[in-house]
Amino acid sequence: MNKRFFLIAIPVVAALYGLDYFLNEYINEYVVRVIMNCGIACILSMSLNLVNGCAGQFSLGHAGFMAVGAYVAATLTTVFPAGPSFQSHLGVGMAILSGGIAAGLAGYLVGLPSLRLRGDYLAIVTLGFGEIIRIVILNIEAVGGPRGLPGIPRLSSFFWIYVWAAITGLVLFRIIRSSVGRALLSLREDEIAAESMGINTAKYKVQAFVISSFFAGIAGGLFAHYQGFVDPSSFSFNRSVEVVIMVVMGGMGSISGSVIGAIIVTVLPEFLRFLDKFRMVVFPLILIILMLLRPMGLLGHKEIWQLFRFKRSLKKAVA
């Protein structure tokens, strides 16, 4: 923890707080909702990028972890007898954190099969886990089953969503720029070579899953306390696919790319409203064209600022 960190963090937090006030007072509700959805999407895409983009483990079950986070957090604040004591900013924060931890545990369980499976097989298993989580929730009457869970206190504000987005970005970025991140990247590049260089591939795969699903759970909790209502259909396979699209569109392994991908995937449909019912036809078409013309995504493996700075001076890094 250094001085520079606080010099940046304090103004950022203050700015977010100010923006929160500004949005509530002056901006119409529709725009605010899109901005909120962007923030949640950013958390989801950045966190999935750790597993998909960095570690190269293709996961199609992110919505499942989001569901765990959303339902655990919402249960604490809404269904749980002591719920009302959670209905403050601090309480909701604790509930959301609990949701994240629960999702992290779920991620641990899903990470285990990833030790034995590769590529498409893993994709289909994570998809299966995601669906199972959803179906299990469908069958829990205490949280409303298929009808969903209404009456969740709407306490995730712009401020909280974006503070969490910033934390997610910072944590993931620091992980990637460390020996843990390099180990994950080596998994993506060549698992056998990684193992032969002393990387405990199993351990890192599971770690990647846990960290990634923790943040997906946080996103779920924020989502629940922003919407005021959750139901199992919000966490279907399509949601997982949406997040994968964000990651691939931005560029595998690029955190800033994920942010860009999240914003495009969230905002673009709003701009395509004039297409009316063809809107959802054009969207996958854009995805296919992107894959054909720019398969590495918008930023590739790079971060956005690396596109403008060509050579990193190593001498400086050592000194």
User: Residues interacting with other proteins, by CB under 8 A?
Assistant: 1-2, 5, 58, 113, 116-117, 119-121, 123-125, 127-129, 131-132, 135-136, 138-139, 171, 174-175, 178-180, 182-183, 185-186, 188-190, 192-201, 237, 241, 244-245, 248, 252, 277-278, 280-281, 283-285, 287-288, 291-292, 295, 301, 311-312, 314, 317-318
Give the number of residues written for the chain: 319
**φ/ψ (deg, to 5) at 312:** -85, 130
Query: To which H or E segment does residue 98 belong?
Result: helix 89-114
With respect to other proteins, which residue has the nearer C-beta, 88 or 238?
Answer: 238
CB of 24 to other proteins, least distance (A): 32
With respect to other proteins, which residue has the nearer C-beta, 136 or 267?
Answer: 136
Q: Is 78 exposed, middle or buried (0-12, 13-18, 19+ CB in 10 A)?
A: buried
DSSP 230-270: B-GGGGSHHHHHHHHHHHHHH-TT-HHHHHHHHHHHHHHHH
CB of 79 to other proteins, least distance (A): 20
CB of 37 to other proteins, least distance (A): 19
- Tell which residue, 258, 278, 274, 276, has the closest CA to residue 266: 258
Cβ atoms of 215 and 43 within 8 Å: the answer is yes
With respect to other proteins, which residue has the nearer C-beta, 17 or 237?
Answer: 237
With respect to other proteins, which residue has the nearer C-beta, 12 or 31?
Answer: 12
Q: Is 273 exposed, middle or buried (0-12, 13-18, 19+ CB in 10 A)?
A: exposed
With respect to other proteins, which residue has the nearer C-beta, 17 or 188?
Answer: 188
Q: Which two tokens stand for residue 89?
A: 């900013």
CB of 229 to other proteins, least distance (A): 21
CB of 69 to other proteins, least distance (A): 20
Residue 143 per-residue DSSP state? G
Query: To which H or E segment does residue 303 belong?
Result: none
With respect to other proteins, which residue has the nearer C-beta, 24 or 238?
Answer: 238
Q: Where do runs of H (alpha helix) occur along 152-200?
A: 158-176, 179-189, 191-196
Sign of CA dihedral 6, 8, 14, 17: negative
CB of 203 to other proteins, least distance (A): 9
With respect to other proteins, which residue has the nearer C-beta, 91 or 250?
Answer: 250
CB of 319 to other proteins, least distance (A): 8
Cβ atoms of 44 and 216 within 8 Å: the answer is yes
CB of 177 to other proteins, least distance (A): 8
Q: How far apart are CA 214 and CA 110, in angstroms?
A: 12
With respect to other proteins, which residue has the nearer C-beta, 23 or 243?
Answer: 243
